[in-house]
Chain A
């Protein structure tokens, strides 16, 4: 109700964006279903987070809430430990790692115990390898997903976006971090704030650490200056959060004085370590600006090293954790690509890292280009602290590049020198200027096999060799004539330009080819998927395509009818996973998140498992085991994820198809049931009534009553019984057809014999008709089901006997022509009203106005039996009046009648 009111009462211009509202409502709803998260947040250790959390837990218990302890670290603090008594604890799980026994929170035990609230200390903790998740916060997320409320503790330095700043302030590098998104997702954040002086006093009182540890701590971390900075940071963060909440509140409650158009931020990232700080910076800016943000990676033709790929995926991960949307695009022009994405995303600001001085020439061009083309879009260039460690890493990163290229450089030099030396004998025959063309030609061929660097070197070598070997004075680098100096300069420029240009063309071409390969892979998959007509075919196409494009083994688990994951891998899977792998797949299925190898969840697995999610529930899981056991490159990973999205929608499409089919079947059978009920009740009751009435008449009749009446009553009983019998026969035939188990029993048959048998059966019914049979004497024997076909003729002929006037002629023709048995049954009666021809063969259909006694099943049975022979039956009217049935049955083999 409030929702309706809300829309009706507000003036039009104040109306909030419906999409934003919907998202907020969705958020609310999601929060309702999930467990609630409360974070006890502090500036550093020792402020009393655990203590406060326990105290709050006791308050919850007194409210009747079922509270348990998942994991608590008291650090032997007496006051804290006192609060632990009479709280139920889930025993920790012990995990053996490299010979030592370590303890971790027992996630499964908590989930199966399903308390209302669980206390989990130290959110930023990193789990022992071999646990399900790498980080404890992932455990907490899973608890929340399971609808369990969680109390947890967190220090400001562990927040991803603040870790770097804290490291700068305190000099300690923070390794255990949690994504900011979990902080934002918390339903409640309680700041545990005490003044730095008070904390230092607690430290010196030994309330936080043992005395000698306190000493060390005060000297290192707990310096008053540090503490003030940390305190300010944590308070500001909480204030920002409050601000954000206020904004959300304003949005939902429609207090809209400061309504902003949705700001959007694009941050350009690359495979460098610096991108991490740019990402953190972007996240802070976007948060204070209340802007959503997009991290864009522009892939160029420059070949990425393994280290690059790894760094890039780290960068992506951080961006994702900090709430960014990731967009990858390929383009040689980075600035152009960034601007294109920014425009597409409707972003108003672009953020990039300050270019490295080392690659000054290249990257400053990026900044220049960006500024030149950006027009209305703001461009921020963000600086970053260069740590020593980073520089070292960068240095090592570059060495392999040169090393790997070294043979190429050598080769380039050798080729050019070789060509030059080979030209020495020519120098006597041709002019030295012409020789420059030969060398130039050699240089221009280099890019076919080499990168830009070797080509440049080759060009330089060529210039020098020409000068040294051919320009007078020869065998010196000095040049006598000014004309030759110019020549050499031109030679050098031409060699360099043509070399680099063709190298660049080649690189670009390679990038295009790669892109083409990717899109053709996707196209191939889409094509295969769209031509698949069942779930099995979809899975087969999936398995084959992933195998082909990723050189990987594929296993597919589908959801079953109950919404559980099927325990059997799909038959099209290319490897059989064991029980352990299955459990990883199951985790992915239920949590709808990627897990397994190369992920943070259950990384011990052999394969990476991806969830195939439909809108309503997960449709299944795909496990991909890369054969060369190497993490997929970032572009391949994105391609794979695209693949899986396509596959999921195809699987779902088939699933929905099946549901639709089923519902059609249900509707059909309901309709059939109704018709059956109406028709059968009438058809059954009429003869039963006749039998009951007549037999009663006989039972109670006067013995001496006239014989004629006796006989009439007996005749009635007999007729009614025959009618009942016919109905039952028809129903039985119909049931055989409907059950789908009607397999014709093929046997060599003489068509004449079949027709004669059926005519004999109907001798009485057809006694007042003229029947003409035209069958070639020499018709061969054909493979048919004698009984079924005889029934077909009997039903049609019986109809003819019922619905044509006495004295009518029934004409039967049959002949075998090539590979078909052709039968024509016609009469010279009234024929069919044209409008009934279509519905004639439908179950329980009876031509309106015809006499009673039929069941409306005869022709539909005839049709069913003919179709069981893969044949067709058609009804029509003769041009000269009368009904006509045409039956065509394909004949595979025939045998002539003359056997000896």
Chain B
């Protein structure tokens, strides 16, 4: 996916971090622009169209969440948060504010590049989503409500199916409990995380080879779930 034309904006106030990110991302084939504070970052984002932004939350002049919200007013491209803040409520609020993914420092560069790649792919595939998906032995026809595992048809309830479709559409992206509840059950179900727990457990039972060691439906502790389409 990384072509030399893919431009990433990095907003981080630590010089060492900026240097490390530049090396990591450039060696992965991206074009990198650096900003050392919120003002500079927002100015850059306003004047140039990037493909993705990597954003630190602890900026000296403005909280990263505010920067995120500001950029989100005009841009839909992936924004990945890279922060030392590791408390779940920080992560959840960043995701709810429109971040596509969240990594806590210290992070592994391989992980960052992988997440960035996934986010970019999800962003581009959304615009051209296909009704039929096939991942590692799982076949899903979203239009005709058909699900097969290793060629065998799998019976899913309408809710399970809706949940599965939501995961497939956001493959690779962290979905918070509240986001899932809102999309599948409706806004009244906010906070009722027992529904997501039960239904994800059922999906695992029906679709995973080993439900105790899931490879598709991963739990993000304290945050939500991430569906991995190891394509």
- Footprint of B on A, CB under 8 Å? 721, 725, 745, 747-750, 752-754, 756-757, 759-760, 773, 781, 785-787, 790, 895, 897-900
Contact A773 B212 (CB under 8 A): yes
Residues of B within 8 A of A752 (CB): 212
Contact B198 A897 (CB under 8 A): yes
A752 to chain B, nearest CB (A): 7
Residues of A within 8 A of B214 (CB): 756
Contact A748 B212 (CB under 8 A): no
Contact B213 A756 (CB under 8 A): yes
Task: Specify which of A721, A790, A899 is in contact with B198 (CB 8 Å cutoff).
Answer: A899
Contact A745 B88 (CB under 8 A): yes
Contact A787 B212 (CB under 8 A): no
Q: Is the interface of B mostly helix, strand, loop or mixed?
A: helix
Near A by CB (< 8 A), chain B positions 197-231 give: 197-199, 201, 212-214, 218-219, 221-222
Contact A757 B197 (CB under 8 A): no
Contact B88 A748 (CB under 8 A): no
Task: Specify which of B199, B218, B222 is in contact with A786 (CB 8 Å cutoff).
Answer: B222
Q: Kindly report which residue of chain B lies nearest to residue A895, judged by CB atoms.
A: B194
Near A by CB (< 8 A), chain B positions 161-212 give: 177, 193-195, 197-199, 201, 212
B6 to chain A, nearest CB (A): 28
Residues of A within 8 A of B193 (CB): 747-748
Say whether B16 faces chain A, with CB atoms less than 8 Å apart. no
A-B contact pairs, 5 of them (CB 8 A): A756-B214, A759-B213, A786-B221, A787-B222, A897-B198
Contact A757 B221 (CB under 8 A): yes
Residues of A within 8 A of B159 (CB): 900
Measured in the bound complex, the distance between the Cα atoms of B214 and A759 in whole Å is 11
Contact A725 B106 (CB under 8 A): yes
Closest 10 pairs between A and B when the two form their complex, measured CB to CB: A748-B194, A787-B222, A899-B198, A787-B221, A757-B219, A790-B221, A781-B194, A786-B222, A895-B194, A750-B197
Say whether B157 faces chain A, with CB atoms less than 8 Å apart. yes
Contact B222 A753 (CB under 8 A): no
Measured in the bound complex, the distance between the Cα atoms of B194 and A261 in whole Å is 88
Contact B88 A756 (CB under 8 A): no
Contact B106 A721 (CB under 8 A): yes
- Footprint of A on B, CB under 8 Å? 88-89, 106, 157, 159, 177, 193-195, 197-199, 201, 212-214, 218-219, 221-222
Residues of B within 8 A of A749 (CB): 197
Contact A753 B106 (CB under 8 A): no
Contact A753 B213 (CB under 8 A): no
Residues of A within 8 A of B194 (CB): 748, 781, 895, 899
A815 to chain B, nearest CB (A): 15
Task: Specify which of A753, A759, A773, A787 is in contact with B201 (CB 8 Å cutoff).
Answer: A753
Measured in the bound complex, the distance between the Cα atoms of B222 and A748 in whole Å is 11
Residues of B within 8 A of A745 (CB): 88-89, 222
What would 16 more interface pairs be, CB under 8 Å, given A753-B197, A773-B212? A745-B222, A748-B193, A750-B197, A756-B214, A757-B219, A757-B221, A760-B218, A781-B194, A781-B197, A790-B221, A897-B198, A897-B201, A899-B194, A899-B195, A899-B199, A900-B159
Task: Specify which of B177, B195, B212 is in contact with A756 (CB 8 Å cutoff).
Answer: B212
Measured in the bound complex, the distance between the Cα atoms of B221 and A785 in whole Å is 10
B103 to chain A, nearest CB (A): 14
Measured in the bound complex, the distance between the Cα atoms of B221 and A510 in whole Å is 75
Measured in the bound complex, the distance between the Cα atoms of B199 and A725 in whole Å is 35
Task: Specify which of B197, B218, B219 is in contact with A748 (CB 8 Å cutoff).
Answer: B197
Contact B221 A750 (CB under 8 A): no
On whether A760 and B197 interact (CB within 8 A), knowing A786-B222, A787-B222, A790-B221, the answer reads no
Measured in the bound complex, the distance between the Cα atoms of B104 and A787 in whole Å is 15
Measured in the bound complex, the distance between the Cα atoms of B88 and A753 in whole Å is 17
Measured in the bound complex, the distance between the Cα atoms of B89 and A747 in whole Å is 13
Measured in the bound complex, the distance between the Cα atoms of B199 and A263 in whole Å is 95
Contact A760 B106 (CB under 8 A): no
Measured in the bound complex, the distance between the Cα atoms of B157 and A806 in whole Å is 44
Residues of B within 8 A of A725 (CB): 106
A403 to chain B, nearest CB (A): 80
A868 to chain B, nearest CB (A): 14
Residues of B within 8 A of A900 (CB): 157, 159
Task: Specify which of B88, B157, B197 is in contact with A787 (CB 8 Å cutoff).
Answer: B88
Measured in the bound complex, the distance between the Cα atoms of B211 and A753 in whole Å is 9
B109 to chain A, nearest CB (A): 12
Residues of A within 8 A of B89 (CB): 745
Residues of A within 8 A of B219 (CB): 753, 756-757
Residues of A within 8 A of B198 (CB): 781, 897-899
Measured in the bound complex, the distance between the Cα atoms of B182 and A469 in whole Å is 106
B152 to chain A, nearest CB (A): 21
Measured in the bound complex, the distance between the Cα atoms of B88 and A438 in whole Å is 95
Measured in the bound complex, the distance between the Cα atoms of B22 and A816 in whole Å is 50
A785 to chain B, nearest CB (A): 8
Measured in the bound complex, the distance between the Cα atoms of B87 and A787 in whole Å is 10
Measured in the bound complex, the distance between the Cα atoms of B125 and A114 in whole Å is 88
A873 to chain B, nearest CB (A): 20
Measured in the bound complex, the distance between the Cα atoms of B189 and A748 in whole Å is 14
Residues of A within 8 A of B177 (CB): 747
Residues of B within 8 A of A753 (CB): 197, 201, 219
Measured in the bound complex, the distance between the Cα atoms of B218 and A177 in whole Å is 94
A889 to chain B, nearest CB (A): 17
A793 to chain B, nearest CB (A): 11
Measured in the bound complex, the distance between the Cα atoms of B219 and A756 in whole Å is 9
Residues of B within 8 A of A748 (CB): 193-194, 197
Measured in the bound complex, the distance between the Cα atoms of B195 and A34 in whole Å is 78
B36 to chain A, nearest CB (A): 24
A384 to chain B, nearest CB (A): 86
Q: Which of A749, A753, A773, A787 has the most CB of B within 10 A?
A: A753
Residues of B within 8 A of A760 (CB): 213, 218
Residues of B within 8 A of A786 (CB): 221-222
Measured in the bound complex, the distance between the Cα atoms of B28 and A467 in whole Å is 134
Measured in the bound complex, the distance between the Cα atoms of B199 and A897 in whole Å is 9
Measured in the bound complex, the distance between the Cα atoms of B163 and A899 in whole Å is 15
Residues of A within 8 A of B212 (CB): 752, 756, 773
Q: Kindly report which residue of chain B lies nearest to residue A724, judged by CB atoms.
A: B106
Residues of A within 8 A of B199 (CB): 899
Measured in the bound complex, the distance between the Cα atoms of B90 and A745 in whole Å is 14
Measured in the bound complex, the distance between the Cα atoms of B194 and A781 in whole Å is 7
Q: Kindly report which residue of chain B lies nearest to residue A761, judged by CB atoms.
A: B221
Measured in the bound complex, the distance between the Cα atoms of B219 and A895 in whole Å is 19
Measured in the bound complex, the distance between the Cα atoms of B20 and A721 in whole Å is 15
B97 to chain A, nearest CB (A): 19
B191 to chain A, nearest CB (A): 9
Q: Kindly report which residue of chain A lies nearest to residue B194, judged by CB atoms.
A: A748
Q: Kindly report which residue of chain B lies nearest to residue A789, judged by CB atoms.
A: B221
B229 to chain A, nearest CB (A): 18
Residues of A within 8 A of B222 (CB): 745, 747, 785-787
Q: Kindly report which residue of chain B lies nearest to residue A736, judged by CB atoms.
A: B87
Measured in the bound complex, the distance between the Cα atoms of B212 and A897 in whole Å is 15
Measured in the bound complex, the distance between the Cα atoms of B193 and A756 in whole Å is 18
Measured in the bound complex, the distance between the Cα atoms of B88 and A790 in whole Å is 13
A791 to chain B, nearest CB (A): 9
Residues of B within 8 A of A895 (CB): 194
Residues of B within 8 A of A757 (CB): 219, 221
Residues of B within 8 A of A790 (CB): 221
B86 to chain A, nearest CB (A): 8
Measured in the bound complex, the distance between the Cα atoms of B88 and A750 in whole Å is 18
Measured in the bound complex, the distance between the Cα atoms of B192 and A781 in whole Å is 12
Residues of A within 8 A of B218 (CB): 760
Q: Kindly report which residue of chain A lies nearest to residue B195, judged by CB atoms.
A: A899
Q: Which of B157, B201, B218, B219 has the most CB of A within 10 A?
A: B219
Measured in the bound complex, the distance between the Cα atoms of B86 and A787 in whole Å is 11
Q: Which of B194, B214, B218 has the most CB of A within 10 A?
A: B194
Measured in the bound complex, the distance between the Cα atoms of B108 and A721 in whole Å is 11
B102 to chain A, nearest CB (A): 14
A531 to chain B, nearest CB (A): 42
Q: Kindly report which residue of chain B lies nearest to residue A897, judged by CB atoms.
A: B198
Residues of A within 8 A of B221 (CB): 754, 757, 786-787, 790
